[in-house]
Amino acid sequence: MVEANIMSNQTASRFQEIDYSNLGFGKYFSDHVFEADNIDNVWSSGVLKQYSPMSIEPGMSTLHYGQTIFEGLKAYRDLKNGGVNIFRPEMNSRRLNRSAKRLCMPQYLEENFLDAIKQLVIRDKRFIPNERGQSLYIRPLLFGDGNFLGVHPSDSYKLLIMTSPVASYYEEGLKPLKILVSHEYARTVRGGLGAAKTAANYAASLYAAKKAKQEGYSQVLWLDGVSMEYIDEVGAMNIVFVIDNKIITPALDSGTILAGVTRDTVIQLSKDFGYEVEERRIKVSEVFDSHKKGTLQEVFGTGTAAIISPVGQLTYNDKDIVINNMEIGPVAQKFYDTILGLVHGEIEDKNNWNLHLDI
């Protein structure tokens, strides 16, 4: 891979500016960005560049019409064997291409995607935090950068991959969230963009999330946008219920749910752990009824950023239910510990999920 504009003498590394004791999420960026361009369906070979401002045209179509998709994955220090583990990156490559198809954008070869990520992580290796739970978050972004006002797919695209050293979401332990079930707003609907990791779904979620926060909730639980009865996701995470010792999560066939890598990991681990798993439609009323019957054991969100986020309270139409006494339950804890152990190389990686780099 060619390197362009690499660190001239005048440019200081961003490394010195990073407060590793207070990383937060997505506040800091590493020194380099991978960039590849697609013009008339042909990809350039891609370069590593310095992270720096870009200039854009006022008519850039994506600013107007939202033809943009992204991904999120992480590189962790292997605390047992040394080196670095990138968790299931081929899943992100495949999902990027599914999102791209839905938004009329070009496909990017998995081999080139994995190579770009490897080069970037190797180049900015020193930015990867050392502590357990911390990681280098990797953010691929693909958008149309054509300069026009007509409504049609762009004829040129840019793929950027940036990285950001991030904290563990839970520096003081996994704290269960208070969640508001939205009966007023939907993030997507059947036939919409819900299965694509695209900006529009986030734009649709901001207002409801802001109102929920003002009322003291951390996030919104999204119902299907048609009947407003079935559960889709929680915030920007997939959702899992433990009811009567079964693991239940909404099925993906509605097309309104993002196929999370963490969701898939939890489903596969459930089978290893001997839990029964049901991927099916689940009504919010079923969750409240099972709470009444005493069979609702745990609720948690799954996603790359937090891995596992326990839900301690659900509020729907002014009715509250408290789950597992506002404490993390044993199932959520077991998934969290197992996944964190896997990504840090402490637990044997039987499924070959880690892309291990000996760096």
Closer residue to ligand PLP (CB): 96 or 243: 96
Residue with tokens 């050293």: 165
Tell which one of 31, 145, 224, 233 touches ligand PLP (CB under 6 A). Answer: 233
Please give the distance of CA 128 from its chain centroid, rounded to a whole number. Answer: 18
Six-digit token string for 193: 């963009």
**158 belongs to the binding site for ligand PLP (CB under 6 A):** no
Q: Tell the smallest beta-carbon distance from residue 309 to ligand PLP (Å).
A: 11
93 binds ligand PLP (CB under 6 A): no
Do the Cβ atoms of 133 and 139 come closer than 8 Å?
A: no
| Contact residue for ligand PLP among 176, 303, 310, 312 (CB under 6 A) | 303
**61, 218, 249, 304: which one binds ligand PLP (CB under 6 A):** 304
Q: Find all residues with CB under 8 Å of 348, minimum gap 6, and list them.
A: none
Residue 164 within binding range of ligand PLP, rule CB under 6 A:
no
32 binds ligand PLP (CB under 6 A): no
For residue 165, the minimal CB distance to ligand PLP (Å) is 18
Binding-residue total with ligand PLP (CB under 6 A): 15
74 binds ligand PLP (CB under 6 A): no
Whether 67 and 103 have beta carbons less than 8 Å apart is answered as: yes
Under rule CB under 6 A, residue 97 binds ligand PLP: no
Q: Which residue is it, tokens 């937060």?
A: 24
Q: Tell me how many degrees the CA angle 109-112-113 measures, rounded to the nearest 5.
A: 85
> Does residue 35 bind ligand PLP (CB under 6 A)?
no
Would you say 218 and 179 are in contact if contact means Cβ atoms under 8 Å apart? yes
Structure tokens at 197: 């990791």
Whole-number Å distance between alpha carbons of 63 and 61: 5
Contact between 181 and 217 (Cβ < 8 Å): no
For residue 138, the minimal CB distance to ligand PLP (Å) is 11
Positions in 179-198 near ligand PLP (CB under 6 A): 197
Interface segment toward ligand PLP; rule CB under 6 A; list 124-132, 155-163, 248-256, 299-307: 299-307
Q: Is 237 a residue that touches ligand PLP (CB under 6 A)?
A: yes
Of all helices (H) and strands (E), which one includes residue 340?
helix 330-343
Tokens 């008519």 map to which residue? 59
Nearest to ligand PLP of 28, 70 (CB atom): 70
Which residue lies nearer to ligand PLP by CB, 18 or 311?
311
> Between 89-102 and 261-273, two packed helices, what is the crossing angle to 10 degrees?
130
Minimum CB separation of residue 36 from ligand PLP in Å reads 22
CB 259 to ligand PLP: min, Å? 8
User: At its nearest, how many Å lie between ligand PLP and the CB of residue 321?
Assistant: 23
Query: How far apart are alpha carbons 203 and 48 in whole angstroms?
Result: 30
Subset of 250-279 contacting ligand PLP (CB under 6 A): 258, 260-263
Residue keyed to tokens 């009329």:
104
225 binds ligand PLP, rule: CB under 6 A: no
C-beta of 137 vs 146, nearer to ligand PLP: 137
CB of 238 to ligand PLP, least distance (A): 5
**Sequence-ordered strand ranges (E) for 133-194:** 135-144, 156-166, 177-181
Applying CB under 6 A, which of residues 103, 181, 236, 239 lies at the interface with ligand PLP?
236
Q: Which of 260, 205, 226, 239 is nearest to 73 (CA)?
A: 260
- The encoded tokens of residue 259 equal 């196929």
Sole residue written with tokens 């996994």: 174
Which of residues 198 and 290 has its CB atom nearest to ligand PLP in the complex? 198
Give the residue ranges of DSSP H helices in 35-124.
61-65, 89-102, 110-123
Tell me which residue of 118, 117, 201 sits closest to 159, measured CA to CA: 117
The region of 31-39, 223-231, 233-241, 281-289 touching ligand PLP under the rule CB under 6 A is 233-241
Contact residues for ligand PLP, defined by CB under 6 A: 72, 197, 201, 233, 236-238, 258, 260-263, 302-304
